[in-house]
Amino acid sequence: MKLPRKYTLVEICKLIQCDYIGEPTHGITGLNEIHMVESGDIVFVDHPKYYEKALKSDATTIIIDKEVECPTGKALILSKSPFDDFNRLTRHFMPESNPHESKNQTIHPSSIIFPHVFIGSNVKIGENCKIMSGASIQDNCILENNVIIGPNTVIGHSAFYYKKKVDGYHRLHSCGGVHIKENVEVGALCTIDAGVSGMTTIGRGTKIDNQVHIGHDTQIGEHCLMASGVGIAGCVTIKNNVTLWGQVGCASNVVIENNVIVYAQSGIGKNLEEGKTYFGSPCGEAKEKFKELVALKKLPTILDKLTND
């Protein structure tokens, strides 16, 4: 999420009433979570396990719950609760909109919007799009030209990102959106979650079947194919020409390289190499997995033989 202008460290700290380490005029241009940070961004960290990752990231301002050595060229914001203070900032710069007062919509006149479609604020819809009945295009979404959205699909719902506290789970406020590039088709009853502070992206020419879920901040490349029931967690990178057949599930922070095929009902828990075909849960190269299934089928006969001998 980019801020409307460059803010100084002092200005940001006044908003959340926190102390800081760094130059008072240190510039801040955005807010982002750790997977999406760029130079000029604020990121938060509230666990020693992730201090080093945050401090060494591209973020130049870190909200942190412990006073540590500040890296050169960066600034620290000292907070008792970095999660809560990050939420205060995102809500300040991107408050939740009133669904009855959606504004800043740009919809090309050639696009067809069916009855009973909801369109939120800060939405852009390009040429020759088709948004079918019951679909919800929520805040901060971009649909490029020739995009089709099936009935009852939700684009841009809040990220599934929570912190467990004494009184239960607290949601991290989503201030990102979804960017669907040209010639993408999304089927019925799909859900594509907004980025926490950036954009979940669906690449040009990708085709998505019915009842597919794509988590926050996931980046999907060009000309991918996803069959019904696929579930993709947050912060996944899927490159170009990837095919995921029915009911494939993918864990977060995985990278799937170009031209990968994953057969139905497989579970992806680690990075997949370019140009290979995978199967199983946890998935492996399909040829090897099929050999394992053949061997497993022979196991009762082998055990009977060993027992009788």
User: For residue 206, what are its two tokens?
Assistant: 């990708």
Instruction: List the one residue out of 34, 29, 40, 33 whose CA is nearest residue 2.
Output: 29
Across the beta sheet with 243-244, the strand order is: 112-113, 130-131, 148-149, 185-186, 207-208, 225-226, 243-244, 261-262, 277-280, 283-285
Q: How far apart, in whole angstroms, are the C-alpha atoms of residue 216 and residue 231?
A: 12
**Mode of pairing for the β-strands spanning 75-78 and 61-64:** parallel
Q: How far apart, in whole angstroms, are the C-alpha atoms of residue 309 and residue 304?
A: 8
Q: How many CA atoms lie within 13 A of 42 on its CB side?
A: 31
Q: How far apart, in whole angstroms, are the C-alpha atoms of residue 224 and residue 210?
A: 15
Question: Percent helix, strand and coil across the chain, each rounded to 5?
Answer: 15, 35, 50
Is 223 among the residues known to form the active site?
no
Residue of 108, 157, 216, 223 marked active site: 216
Residue 152 in contact with residue 190, Cβ under 8 Å?
no
Q: Is residue 263 helix, strand or coil?
A: coil
Cα 161 to chain centroid distance, Å, stands at 10
Calculate the CA dihedral of residues 198, 174, 75, 51 and round it to 10 degrees.
-100
Cα 41 to chain centroid distance, Å, stands at 18
Q: How many CA atoms lie within 13 A of 94 on its CB side?
A: 23
Which residues does the annotation mark as catalytic? 216
